[in-house]
Structure 1
């Protein structure tokens, strides 16, 4: 992974240095009106079920949601042609000066010692392009070879001298790649390359920069849970990179910045890894809450680089972009940014029947591979992911609210937003390269009108997004490897519905939770729903401002929304979501301490200490637990017999456990995604206290 990251940010500069003139005029905006999916007749019965639940409110789309990266080695940075294409796609945030170059870049003299800087890519040129795009800047201050004073001077120039109102500033790029964990691709002149030093320097940068403009937001670099070096504690450190940075710099920052390259040996595996998103963001928020100190909830999350390893210019890249952007934004990430606008070809091949140049760019660089075996289309020709980004611009608009969805087929992803005007937009992604699928759509908390919906489609090999009425509100047929955006009007426009309740809170035990929320007005009843894919489960209702909920499972994660209903039966939009995890019994006859004692990034040594708190001995025992995800497993174990079936693990021993005594068993675990540790354990069927 780290070699790929290095190649992505440095090796392509030779190719990009050749892009010195426009090889062809940028293509006109696609304005096709035919709908390729219209040629597929809907099957008499749907083979995929998708549920959409307007009661299950997720995150609201912000004004910086859709982003891309610009780089100072790209000679087309900030040109009117590129700005126009990005504006047409709905881009809201652009990042500068470009990946690892940020840690060698000096803005005052526009130099990057050791790297190539294209003419006409200085900061003012970048800002002019951002303004033409209508996008906010995300600026990376140089941590690796810069100083806090240099960063503060940049803030002064941007926001005092030039009045650019540049709000978001990240300190460095992938600074955990400075050699501290073994791999070194990120420049770092600090003698101490530990997360401890990075955190201390972030605090100094934030202080100097905010002394110039207190209104800016400063971000610190973290690693995405489930991605290297997540979980690793290096020699001399007290914790992982994320733990050290958050503990020491949490009070000084406003957001954290992560990157995510899902990898995968083939397109299907890469596309399947969007299933990691919810657990990864959940794990990241838990780390922020645990380590960043008081008021950690104010710290936002940006994801400023993502892409795929297979099909970067073809349909797998497009499908991944639509699925990943939607999943991350639904979980409250405030900006998601593709790497990048132009990058240059690496090697030519065919993916899903289409030419692919292994180029990280959204737009063609108009150059050839190093061996001249293949040349890209004319400069600025959009690749497939650009069209997916354009579709995202139509789907996830500022102010839209993501709502819960569920699909019974892993090859078909679904996302949905509710608009302020009452419309519901549903994004359907068919990740099957060979088969069309007819999707049966089912709704909760929303009744669609009877008119044929307008559908925007991007199909494999298409030159752009097409728009036409197609299918119905309850059935849509998706061509192979396609994305469809279905916009539905309600059967009637709601009038004078109650306002959405404000953010709820919860007080939890092992089996109960008391949900509390501010009043949304007089004479209202409140309904509390637990999210469950596209079909929420109602936990209860009350005319007060709190609701006790019983019969919950210990150690279980719950996400709930509160809705208000007035005397006329009109229902409000959902409250912001609340996610909580129930505890374990405080006075159980057993206690379990589960620890990750030595992690190497995709596996670890685990230790499980079991204590008999009872008055009687336990003569032979079985400890059972369930992995939170399907990508975690036990490779081997000792001091007991270890068995795994599905996600359930059983550890058995004939050895007695006297009253008041403890025993420790161990195992080697592996994971290929966020390593969310289990919360609940049973000993001979009794739920234990988890310590």
Structure 2
């Protein structure tokens, strides 16, 4: 969508464990596990899992049971006073298995060679995204994966045309560029291997439009197929182009005097669809040659674009009318808050519930003839002017969005992005690339910590939650195959709330454990995050030793009750028997 055009045009960017609950060890920590060699599984006795939704499909094929250990805790008092609301978690009422691919992120070619940055690599490993999309937004349509620096194919033009027909510099990117400031495709593969993630690669569709060869579509499809051959199964998921419904994207308007296969000046959904099928044929043939299977996505829009402006009208209708059943899945993007608006915290935090559902409803409706799994391969907020993107509020928004993405049964989701540019606080990057005042290079932003604890405390199944009183607190319930219940409570309001938790169809063990996250008090858009009261030593981010902070804990016999701070979250785990 056009919502992040200016940023992108500037080229912005659980290990088996023994079930153990030990007491009061300050060296702590949580030890979640995906798969591995777990202890005996306690998996929803007597309750069958629901079938995977069409919108999740094969993304759930890699689902694994999760197991968690707590190796220490700090005793905490149960909040005094009457609860503002009671949330009931029905552990046997399973909404969905949790796709391992909804915690993804975008990695970009302008954020160094990455594997040469041990601090960044450690942060990515701790984030445990499971999927990293590359090469990075709009630049994918000017990216030549096999080209050394400066060595382009002979059939690429010296200039692009923008939406108005003006000549602009293409800003081509080179996949074999080994300079320290960029990311080569070979080092991208190393990042995937070292972070235990798979890839989602966006191939250069626009080359099929602006290429000057006799058959630019075949040439571009062949380049994509050669990438599949080179990849040799390292990457499971592929998408053809990036946001090609947008008039900001390379290839929307081409210079017809340079084109040799009679293409129109302006792109349409139908033309993309015709080209898509050629790409698919070439790429699937290549995958067969190297003995692997891949999934290929078509680019869809989150609106019909008929309101005028910067999106091609009726894109989804025309694409699907041409490709029929040819795609394996669809990719969509959404940037939640209004474009370049100095949005308030309330405006930002009111978007996850409504926007996520509206997006899924729209895509289901527009793809009804050819339903497929859905990937939200780029998402974030796009507020500007008050440090919103680098603030604690962005972290609260992340926690809510993850809960809503799971609840609405997306198969995949990747936040945009790992690292970017400071841009006076309008930086969408989860880590400081080195230009944030007062911060150290690769320091995590608040959003990192909100995702880290979500990954730790959310189980392998989402279960039903109900709130008896309307409050600003949202609850997302889950269960672990090892027998625990995990609950995420997010407060989108400006006042703390006491929340009581009742667990149905679940025999609680002796204790519950939790982490409390909230921002600083200097401004609503605080760049700091505090974890169980401990904050950062610098002007932004969280405590450096966050992994050594023990969870707070209390006895379940007295009831489960916690205080959720204003603009904050509680990540809670209840033992099961």
Same fold (TM over 0.5): yes
SS of aligned partner of 1:174? coil
Match of 1:687 in 2: none
Match of 1:454 in 2: 513
SS of aligned partner of 2:199? strand
SS of aligned partner of 2:423? coil
Q: Deviations over 1:569-610 (max 9, x none)?
A: xxxxxxxxxxxxxxxxxxxxxxxxxxxxxxxxxxxxxxxxxx
1:145 is displaced (CA, Å) by 2.2
For 1:65-144, what aligned pairs fall within 5 Å after superposition?
Answer: 65-79=102-116, 80-109=118-147, 113-115=170-172, 119=180, 120-144=182-206
1:431 is displaced (CA, Å) by 1.7
Structure showing the higher helix proportion among its residues: 2
Match of 2:574 in 1: 488
Query: What is the TM-score when the length of structure 1 is the normalising length?
Result: 0.59
1:171 is displaced (CA, Å) by 0.8
For the pair 1:194 / 2:268, whether they are aligned, the reply is yes
Match of 1:262 in 2: 336
Q: Deviations over 1:376-396 (max 9, x none)?
A: 511100000111121122134
Contact in 2 for aligned 1:34/1:468 (Cα 8 Å): no
SS of aligned partner of 1:223? coil
Match of 1:389 in 2: 451
Match of 1:51 in 2: 88
Contact in 1 for aligned 2:87/2:501 (Cα 8 Å): yes
Q: Take 1:156 and 1:116, find their aligned partners in 2: how far apart are those partners?
A: 17
Contact in 2 for aligned 1:199/1:249 (Cα 8 Å): yes
Match of 1:223 in 2: 301
Q: Deviations over 1:66-90 (max 9, x none)?
A: 1111111222544443232111111
SS of aligned partner of 2:506? coil
1:412 is displaced (CA, Å) by 0.9
**Aligned partner of 2:240 among 171, 181, 190:** 171
Match of 1:303 in 2: 376
For the pair 1:430 / 2:483, whether they are aligned, the reply is no
Aligned in 2, Cα 1:381/1:148: closer, same or farther, shift over 3 Å? farther
Aligned in 2, Cα 1:444/1:39: closer, same or farther, shift over 3 Å? closer
SS of aligned partner of 1:124? helix
**Aligned partner of 2:435 among 360, 367, 383:** 367
For 1:197-346, what aligned pairs fall within 5 Å after superposition?
Answer: 197-214=271-288, 215-224=293-302, 228-230=303-305, 232=307, 240-264=314-338, 265-276=343-354, 277-289=356-368, 291-292=369-370, 296=371, 299-310=372-383, 311-346=388-423
Q: Take 2:463 and 2:488, find their aligned partners in 1: how far apart are those partners?
A: 12
For 1:253-652, what aligned pairs fall within 5 Å after superposition?
Answer: 253-264=327-338, 265-276=343-354, 277-289=356-368, 291-292=369-370, 296=371, 299-310=372-383, 311-347=388-424, 357-367=425-435, 375-396=437-458, 400-407=460-467, 408-433=469-494, 435-449=495-509, 451-460=510-519, 461-462=529-530, 463-464=542-543, 466-471=549-554, 472=556, 474-490=560-576, 492=577
Aligned in 2, Cα 1:469/1:336: closer, same or farther, shift over 3 Å? same
Structure showing the higher strand proportion among its residues: 1
Q: Take 2:10 and 2:562, find their aligned partners in 1: how far apart are those partners?
A: 44
Q: Take 1:134 and 1:442, find their aligned partners in 2: how far apart are those partners?
A: 36
Q: Take 1:78 and 1:144, find their aligned partners in 2: how far apart are those partners?
A: 29
Match of 1:619 in 2: none
Report the RMSD for the aligned CA atoms in angstroms.
3.2
Aligned in 2, Cα 1:412/1:151: closer, same or farther, shift over 3 Å? farther
Number of residues paired by the alignment?
441
SS of aligned partner of 1:140? strand
Q: Take 1:342 and 1:104, find their aligned partners in 2: how far apart are those partners?
A: 20
Query: Which structure: larger Rg?
Result: 1
1:155 is displaced (CA, Å) by 4.3
1:410 is displaced (CA, Å) by 4.7
Q: Take 1:200 and 1:75, find their aligned partners in 2: how far apart are those partners?
A: 36
1:436 is displaced (CA, Å) by 1.5
Q: Take 1:437 and 1:43, find their aligned partners in 2: how far apart are those partners?
A: 12
For 1:153-172, what aligned pairs fall within 5 Å after superposition?
Answer: 153-158=223-228, 160-161=229-230, 163-172=232-241
1:423 is displaced (CA, Å) by 1.6
Q: Take 1:329 and 1:231, find their aligned partners in 2: how far apart are those partners?
A: 30
Q: Take 1:344 and 1:45, find their aligned partners in 2: how far apart are those partners?
A: 46
Contact in 2 for aligned 1:84/1:132 (Cα 8 Å): no
Query: What is the TM-score when the length of structure 2 is the normalising length?
Result: 0.70
- Structure 2 unaligned residues grouped into runs of 5+: 14-26, 31-69, 153-169, 209-216, 255-262, 520-528, 531-541
Taking CA–CA contacts closer than 8 Å with sequence separation of 6 or more, which of the two structures ends up with the larger relative contact order? 2
Contact in 2 for aligned 1:202/1:220 (Cα 8 Å): yes
Q: Take 1:323 and 1:453, find their aligned partners in 2: how far apart are those partners?
A: 22
Q: Take 1:30 and 1:174, find their aligned partners in 2: how far apart are those partners?
A: 44
